[in-house]
Each structure stands twice: as structure tokens, then as C-alpha cells.
């Protein structure tokens, strides 16, 4: 990593731990900063804070005392999940204290080039596709996954070599805290309505996503979803060289035509040989193809990787086949839009959908058109009655209730026939019954595996 000196003997406040805050605090300490960490979790329940204290880093846990900012800090490194409406953040802004996220710190020390991926949906799948394709075709170095995908960017950057590439998933929360962050290639998969409770408005959310290209130049490449008018309009406002991708029209970049995927009129592969189903995954693959071609990866390496791509855990993940019934885990589908995208990839006449979860007060009227033609639905959780009504409105002939995602598996299997697909795509958050969507997906997978015994 680059041995920068700008933080030596500077007082830095790291607000919020988790993986990224822990990594940032350790890195700043190693760079000679005088670090104070503030985290809301009590010290006795906070192993990260305990580890940092052993290193000689000052830790303040259990609350967020506003008087912390009475010290003469030069910088705040904020955990992305902490909103700018937080009292400490508001006071820091009022004092004119610079606030960054850990992703900016990673960029400052990284010796290697960076590919940045953001968007409302498809970030993790696209990031993973890109990483696998690059690693299949790179002659030197490695593609290293980083960022919102679960690997703190500042940790990855410390270990990256100059010939490596950091393939970095970026949330809108992370992008609000950049100053000099500058990817060589950036991807925006799509922009829909999301995180309005954090950003306050759709305009502010879009602004945060657009930050990804803020420091890019004409020598850099910005890959945009040309099927969205919003991104076509934004394309006129960047200095970067724009490379479009589209699943519906021929563009000067990556596109689908007559069931085949191309890059600049160069045939890459047949669409339906992609290892994961759905038009949304076609879009993800097109974005990944664009990055790969810009990095000089061969068509054969791209094709082979995408054909063997089995998905990201909990994101339309292929779990296996039992007696000619296919099972897919899309537990990450915590909203209607994500489930609509998943449903678009399957033959409804042979599809049994498992859905349900936390009731946030919304109806499922918008989901009804995507449910038409389903073979059956198994519903569970707090929203089971609402989803049953949506299924009724869509004229789904078979609707059954289940206790949870795992008990729904046996019910779905009993309804299924040879050639059918059973899909968990809940359209709801998991918190009514599970700590997170990962646990929900793991329980589903365990129930599927139990059928094999």
C-alpha cells in the first residue's frame, strides 16, 4: 500500500465500528493518526472495541456523547450506515469537520487500479461476475473483491499489489463520503427508488449514486444501463467516456440482440446459456462483459465464466435439483421490485413461489402482474394474508400457508411435478422471523438438502 503521511499526528474520530470502522481505525493508527473510536455498542459486548483498545486506540462506547467533538479533530471517518442526521454528524458538519467513509481511505492508500460498481439492484451479482471473469483472464495480478460486498475496502487495499484490481461494490451511503475516490472503470447497474428514509428524497439518492463518477476523466470509462432514461440523461453530465449496455437495443457497447450477447458487434455468447436466469441477470452480465472487454479479457474466458456462474448466495442462487425439481434461493429479495425481477426469469406455469416476511405496512398490488400464471404460491410470515390476496387477484389457483421459509419447502415439493422450479423470493424483509436474509436463505437451503435424505 501507499505509505501516506497526511494523517501523522492528526486527531481522527472514527464513528461506528462494524467491519469497515474497525478496519479504518486500525489503518489510521498504523498511519500515525491519533485515533478515537466511538461506537454505540457497550464495551463488554464489543469485541472490536476491545481489540482496538489493546492496540492503544482510544475507544468510547455505549453512547455518542456530543462533547466528543470538543476535541480538535482533523477528520471524521463515518460508518456508512450512520445517517447525516445523527447528532454527532450534524455537529461535525456545523464545525466544518471533513467527513469521509472508509472507501475514501482505501482509495488513498491503494496501489492498484479500481473498478467501482454501484446501483439499486444487481451490485453484488455484477461485482462477483466481474471478479470471476477478470480472474479467469488476467495474465498478471488478481481481481480482489472489496467494499459493500463484505470485504472492507481499506483492508483489501492494504494487501493489494500494483498489478491487482480492486473490484469494489459501492453503496450510496459509502459514495456520499468520498473526496478524491477515482475508479478507472465505474458501473451503474440501474437506479430505482430506495433508501429514501436515509437520503430524504429520490433526488438526493440519485445524487449520491452519481458521486461515483465525480473525479473521473475522459481517460476513464463509465458503464451505464442504457435501458434507463435517467442514466441516458446523466450520461451527458460526466467527463468520463460512457460505455452503454442494453438488453433491449443495439448500443455502442454491450447489448443483447436476437437472444445473443455482443460487445461492439462482437458475438460473446447465447443469452440463455448464462448460468443464472432472468433478464436482470442478462443486464448484470452485459455490464460485466463491458468491464471485461475494456480490460482485455478474451471472449472465451468471458463466455466460460458466465456460463458456469451459479449466482451469489441468496441472490437467485441455484441450490440444486431433486427428482427433476430445481430449487433457487433469492432470499435477498427483500422488496417487491427484487421479486419482480426474479420472477421474470422463469416459466410461470412450472414455477412455485415462496414469499412472505416482515409487514412494513405496504400492499402488494404492484406485485400482482408478476404473479399471473404461477403454478402455486406458498406464503408465510407477517405478510402472508396480504400476499395470499395478491395471489388471488392474480388468479393463482393454488395458494397455501406455511409457518416460515423452511417449512414452505416441503409443502412446495408436495405440490410440484417433474420439471417444476421452486423459488424462494420473499418480497419482504426477514426480521419478523429471522435475524437477516442470509439466515432465512440458509434455512431454506437446509430444508432443501433435507429433502435429499
Asked if residue 321 belongs to a known ligand binding site, the reply is no
Alpha carbons 50 and 45: distance in angstroms, whole number: 9
Per-position b or e across 166-187, b if 16+ CB within 10 A of its CB: bbbbbbbbbbbbbeebbbbbbb
Asked if residue 120 belongs to a known ligand binding site, the reply is yes
In this structure, are residues 146 and 152 in contact, taking their beta carbons and an 8 Å threshold? yes
Secondary structure element (H or E) that encloses residue 133, with its range: helix 123-137
Pick from 397, 361, 363, 359: nearest CA to 377: 397
In this structure, are residues 178 and 100 in contact, taking their beta carbons and an 8 Å threshold? yes
Strand partners, 317: 329
Asked if residue 119 belongs to a known ligand binding site, the reply is yes
CB atoms within 10 A of CB 380: 25
Asked if residue 361 belongs to a known ligand binding site, the reply is no
Q: What three-state secondary structure class fits 109?
A: helix
Asked if residue 36 belongs to a known ligand binding site, the reply is no
Q: What three-state secondary structure class fits 89?
A: helix
Q: What three-state secondary structure class fits 222?
A: strand
- Strands 325-329 and 317-322: what pairing? antiparallel
Asked if residue 219 belongs to a known ligand binding site, the reply is no
The C-alpha angle 240, 242, 245, rounded to 5 degrees, equals: 150
Secondary structure element (H or E) that encloses residue 23, with its range: helix 18-30
Strand partners, 355: 379
Alpha carbons 200 and 453: distance in angstroms, whole number: 50
Alpha carbons 230 and 344: distance in angstroms, whole number: 22
Helix, strand, coil % in the chain, rounded to nearest 5? 40, 20, 40
Asked if residue 118 belongs to a known ligand binding site, the reply is no
Q: What is the DSSP secondary-structure string of 391-446?
A: HHHTT-S-EEE-SSHHHHHHHHHHH--TT-EEEE--SS-STTTSSSHHHHHHHHHH
DSSP state of 217: -
Binding-site residue positions: 119-125
Binding-site residue positions for ATP: 119-125
Amino acid at each position: 500500500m501507499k505509505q501516506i503521511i497526511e494523517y501523522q499526528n492528526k486527531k481522527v474520530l472514527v464513528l461506528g465500528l462494524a467491519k469497515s470502522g474497525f478496519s479504518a481505525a486500525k489503518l489510521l493508527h498504523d498511519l500515525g493518526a491519533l485515533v478515537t473510536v466511538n461506537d454505540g455498542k457497550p464495551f463488554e459486548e464489543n469485541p472490536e472495541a476491545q481489540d482496538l483498545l489493546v492496540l492503544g486506540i482510544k475507544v468510547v462506547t455505549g453512547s455518542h456523547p456530543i462533547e466528543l467533538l470538543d476535541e480538535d479533530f482533523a477528520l471524521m471517518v463515518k460508518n456508512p450506515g450512520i445517517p447525516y442526521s445523527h447528532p454527532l454528524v450534524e455537529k461535525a458538519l456545523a464545525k466544518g469537520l471533513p467527513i469521509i467513509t472508509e472507501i475514501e481511505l482505501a482509495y488513498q492508500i491503494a496501489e492498484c487500479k479500481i473498478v467501482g460498481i454501484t446501483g439499486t439492484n444487481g451490485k453484488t451479482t455484477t461485482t462477483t461476475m466481474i471478479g470471476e471473469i477478470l480472474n479467469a483472464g488476467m495474465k498478471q495480478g488478481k481481481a480482489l473483491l472489496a467494499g459493500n460486498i463484505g470485504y472492507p475496502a481499506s483492508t483489501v487495499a492494504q494487501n493489494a499489489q500494483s498489478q491487482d484490481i480492486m473490484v469494489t461494490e459501492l453503496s450510496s451511503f459509502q459514495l456520499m463520503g468520498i473526496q478524491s475516490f477515482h475508479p478507472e472503470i465505474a458501473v451503474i447497474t440501474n437506479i430505482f427508488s430506495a433508501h429514501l428514509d436515509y437520503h430524504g428524497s429520490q433526488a438526493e439518492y440519485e445524487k449520491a449514486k452519481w458521486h461515483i463518477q465525480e473525479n473521473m476523466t475522459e481517460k476513464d470509462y463509465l458503464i451505464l444501463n442504457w435501458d434507463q432514461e435517467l442514466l441516458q440523461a446523466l450520461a451527458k453530465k460526466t467527463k468520463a467516456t460512457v460505455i452503454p449496455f442494453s438488453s433491449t437495443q443495439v448500443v455502442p457497447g454491450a447489448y443483447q440482440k436476437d437472444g445473443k450477447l455482443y460487445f461492439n458487434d462482437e458475438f460473446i455468447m447465447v443469452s440463455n446459456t448464462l448460468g443464472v436466469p432472468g433478464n436482470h441477470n442478462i443486464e448484470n452480465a452485459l455490464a460485466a462483459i463491458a468491464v471485461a472487454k475494456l480490460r482485455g479479457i478474451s471472449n472465451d474466458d468471458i463466455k466460460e465464466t458466465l456460463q458456469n456462474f451459479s449466482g451469489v448466495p441468496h441472490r437467485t442462487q441455484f441450490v440444486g435439483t431433486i427428482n427433476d425439481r430445481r430449487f433457487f434461493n433469492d432470499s435477498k429479495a427483500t422488496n417487491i421490485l427484487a421479486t419482480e425481477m426474479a420472477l421474470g426469469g422463469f416459466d410461470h406455469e412450472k414455477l412455485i413461489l415462496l414469499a412472505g416476511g416482515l409487514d412494513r405496512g405496504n400492499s402488494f398490488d404492484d406485485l400482482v402482474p408478476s404473479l399471473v400464471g404461477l403454478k402455486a404460491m406458498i406464503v408465510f410470515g407477517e405478510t402472508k394474508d396480504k400476499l395470499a390476496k395478491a395471489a388471488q387477484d392474480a388468479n393463482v389457483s393454488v395458494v397455501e400457508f406455511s409457518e416460515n421459509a423452511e417449512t414452505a419447502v416441503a409443502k412446495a415439493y408436495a405440490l410440484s411435478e417433474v420439471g417444476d422450479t421452486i423459488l424462494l423470493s420473499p418480497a419482504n424483509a426477514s426480521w419478523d422471523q429471522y435475524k437477516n436474509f442470509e439466515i432465512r436463505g440458509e434455512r431454506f437451503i437446509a430444508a432443501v438438502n433435507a429433502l435429499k435424505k
